[in-house]
A and B are shown apart, each in its own frame.
Chain A
Amino acid sequence: MSSIIHIQGLSTKFQTDTVHENLHLRVKTGEILGIVGGSGTGKSVLLSQIALLRRPNAGEVYLFEQATANLSEKALLPIRQRIGVMFQQGALFSSYTVLENICVPLREHTKLSNNLIRELAMLKLKLAGLPDHAAHKMPNELSGGMLKRAAVARALALDPELLLLDEPSAGLDPVGAHALDELMISLNTTLKLTLVLVSHDLDSLWRVTHRVAFLGRKQVLQVADMQTLSQSDDELIQNYFSNPRAHAAQARQL
C-alpha cells in the first residue's frame, strides 16, 4: 500500500527547545492513524507540519509522494487543497454563518456558480451530520459538538484526500464524542478518506484508529494498533496505558 504521508528525519526546534529530533513516520493511504503522547511531546506541532502550516527545521515531509520542505508557498497551494484540517476549537469564521463558512474554500478555489457552491456546502453540512437548521446559524450559536461537525464540513468542502483532526473529541459530552467517532469512521469507509487525529481520548482511539503512533523522547517510539501498543515493553508507553482510566477504556473495548 502506498503512503500518503511520509516523514523522514524531521527535526523541530523552538528557540532552545528541541521538540522532534530525527523523527520518522509513515501513514498509509486509507487508514485512520492516531497520534498520542504526553503533554509537550509535539503532537499538535507535528500535525501542523503535516498540514503545511509550519516548516520543519530539518528533514522532509512527503505528502502524496511529493517532497514539501523546500517548496514555495505558491507550490504548496495545490497540496494544501488536498488536505482538510479541523482545528481544536473549530476555528470557524465568527462573522459568517455555518453555510457561508463552508462556502469559503469553494468560492476561493473554484469557479463554480454561486448556486452550486451553496448547494455543495449544504451537501457537506449533511455529510458531516448537521441538521438542516444549522445552515444559517452563527458559529457562536452552535453547541460544541455541532461546532466540530461544522468544522469537519468546512474541511471537507474541497473533497480532500487527507483529513487532519486536532483533538476532535476534546470538550464534548459522551454522546457528542461518540457521534463524532462514528462520523470519522464513516468518512473513512464511505469517502475513502485518510484520517490523522491527535487525541487524548482513549475510548475514541480504541474505537476509531487502525494504528496509533506514540510520540516520546522527541521521536515516534512505536506505531501499532491499540492492542499491541497497550502491551508495549517501552516504559513511557506502559506508563501512558497503565493508569486506571486507560484500563477502563481498554476494558470497555474488549
Chain B
Amino acid sequence: MPLDDYLYLDTENKLYLQGAWHTKTLAFIETQVRNHCHPEYLQSVTHIHADITHLDTNAAYLLVKLCRYFNLDPEGLTKEQQQTFTLVTAHLSPIPANQNNLPWLASFGKACLSPILQAKAMLAFLGEMSWALAEQIRQPSKIRLGLILSVIENAGAYAIPIISLLSFLMGAVIAYQGGLQLQTYGANIFIVELVSLTLLRELAPLITAIIVAGRSGSAFTAEIATMSINDEIRAMQSLGLSPQHILVLPKVMGLIFVLPLLTALADVAGLAGGMLVALLQLDVSFSEFLQRVPETVSVNHFLVGISKSFAFAWIIAHVGCMQGFYVQGGADSVGRQTTKSVVQSIFLVILADALFSILFTWLKI
C-alpha cells in the first residue's frame, strides 16, 4: 500500500524508496522521511529498498540518516548512487559547538566592559593625535595644506546649502512658537532677544555640529575604515608615511577651521528665518529687528557659540577618525563603525555642550 510519492512501506514491512532524490525535491522527501522515522516503525522495518532515479549528496545525506535510524543498509542502489552514499558517509561530522556564543553572565560582563574600553581607546587616540599635532607644530613645513583644503571644501563648502536651509527653518520655528506666547503679553519686540539668544548661544553651534557629524564624521570613518580593510594604512606605514599626519591631522585642522565659519553662517541664516516670521506674524520690521540685536544682545553670546564650535569640531574629527581605525573584519564592520562614529560624536557634542553651559554660567559669561 503506497503511502506517498518518495517512500512507502509494503505489506512485508519493506521500506521502498522511489522517485528522484535530489535537492529540489528534498523538502517533500524530508517530511515523508520524518513520518517514517517513527518509533512505531523501528522494530517492524526489516529492509530499505531503493529504486530511485537520482541521488545527489544532499539527498544522500538524508538517506544516510534514514538508514542509520533503522540501522539498516540500503539495497538496490546503482553503482553511482552507492558511491555517492559512501562519499557522504565518509564525510559525516556533527556541527561543533559554537564557542563564540557566551553564557549570559559573560555577555553581560562584556557589555559592561565595552564603554570603559571605548573610553580608554579614545584617550589613547587623543594621546596619539596630540603627539602628532605637537610634531606638526614643531615642523610647520610638513603641514599638508592640500589635504586640509580638501577637507574644508568637502566638509565645509558643500555643507553650506543644507546648513543654511536648516538653520533658517530653525530660526523661523523658534520665532513662530515663541512669538505666539509673546503676543499674548503684547511683548512682540522681545522676539529679537528670544531668537538671537537661543540661536547664537545654543542652537546654531549644536545643529551645525550635528549636521557635520552626520555628513562628514561618518565620511571620515568610512574612508579610513575602507582604507584599513584594504591594507592601505599598513602600506602607508611601510612607506614611512604617518597615517596620523596624512589622514587624521588634516581632518582635525580642516574641521576646526571650517566648523566655526559654518556656525557663523547658521547664526545668520537662523536670524534671517526669525526675522521673516517676526515681520509676518508680529509686525516687527527688518530694520527694527536689526537695530535691536546689537542694542540688547551682547557680542559675548555670539563668541560663546563660536568658541563651543571649536571643541565640537575636535570631537567630530577625533571620533570620526578613531572609529575608522578601529575597524575589524569586512564590509559589515565598516557599517558598524560608521554608525558608532555618528552616535558617539553626537552624544559627545551634546555632553560637551552641557559642560560648557555649566562652565560659562560659573564664569558668568
Contacts and interface: CB of A to CB of B under 8 A. Distances in A.
Nearest to B55: A159
A39 interface: no
A94 interface: yes
B58 A94 contact: no
A159 B57 CA distance: 7
A136 B24 CA distance: 27
Contact of B27 (A95, A112, A123, A124): A112
Given A112-B26, A113-B30, A135 B95 contact: yes
A118 B93 CA distance: 11
B93 to A, nearest CB: 5
A174 B56 CA distance: 32
B57 A110 contact: no
Interface residues on B, range: 20 to 34
B23 A159 contact: yes
B30 A112 contact: yes
Nearest to A121: B95
Given A123-B88, A190-B87, A94 B27 contact: no
B281 interface: no
Main secondary structure of the interface of B (DSSP, over half): helix
A126 B23 contact: no
A118 B94 CA distance: 10
A84 to B, nearest CB: 12
A205 interface: no
Given A123-B88, A126-B91, A135 B96 contact: yes
A133 B99 CA distance: 10
Contacts of A138: 329
B98 interface: yes
A119 B61 contact: yes
Given A94-B329, A140-B330, A191-B57, A123 B62 contact: no
Nearest to B94: A122
Contacts of A95: 330-332
Interface string B296-336: 00000000000000000000000000000000111111000
A224 B89 CA distance: 36
Given A119-B61, A122-B94, A139 B330 contact: yes
A74 interface: no
A126 B57 CA distance: 12
A118 B95 contact: yes
Could you say which of A116, A159, A190 has the most chain B C-beta atoms within 10 Å of its C-beta? A159
B91 A192 contact: no
Contacts of B93: 122-123, 126, 132
Contacts of A122: 93-95
A127 B58 CA distance: 11
A2 to B, nearest CB: 17
B46 interface: no
A116 B91 contact: no
Contact of A159 (B56, B100, B331): B56
A158 B30 contact: no
Interface in B49-71: 56-58, 61-62
A161 B346 CA distance: 53
A111 interface: yes
Contact of A110 (B26, B94, B329): B26
B92 interface: yes
Could you say which of A99, A118, A132, A136 has the most chain B C-beta atoms within 10 Å of its C-beta? A136
A253 B24 CA distance: 41
Contacts of B83: 190
A135 B56 CA distance: 22
B337 interface: no
A159 B58 contact: yes
A158 B332 contact: no
B96 A136 contact: yes
A98 B175 CA distance: 58
B23 A158 contact: yes
B27 to A, nearest CB: 4
Interface string A130-160: 0011011011100000000000000010110
Interface in B16-66: 22-24, 26-27, 30, 56-58, 61-62
A120 B330 contact: no
B295 interface: no
Nearest to A113: B30
Contact of A192 (B80, B98, B100, B333): B80
Given A110-B26, A120-B61, A133 B96 contact: yes
Contacts of B23: 110, 158-159
B218 interface: no
Interface string B66-110: 000000000000001001100110011111101110000000000
12 contacts: A94-B332, A112-B30, A113-B30, A119-B61, A122-B95, A123-B88, A123-B91, A126-B91, A135-B95, A140-B330, A159-B56, A190-B84
List of 10 A-B pairs having minimum Cβ-Cβ separation, nearest first: A94-B330, A95-B332, A111-B27, A159-B56, A126-B91, A140-B329, A136-B98, A122-B95, A132-B96, A159-B23
Interface of B: 22-24, 26-27, 30, 56-58, 61-62, 80, 83-84, 87-88, 91-96, 98-100, 328-333
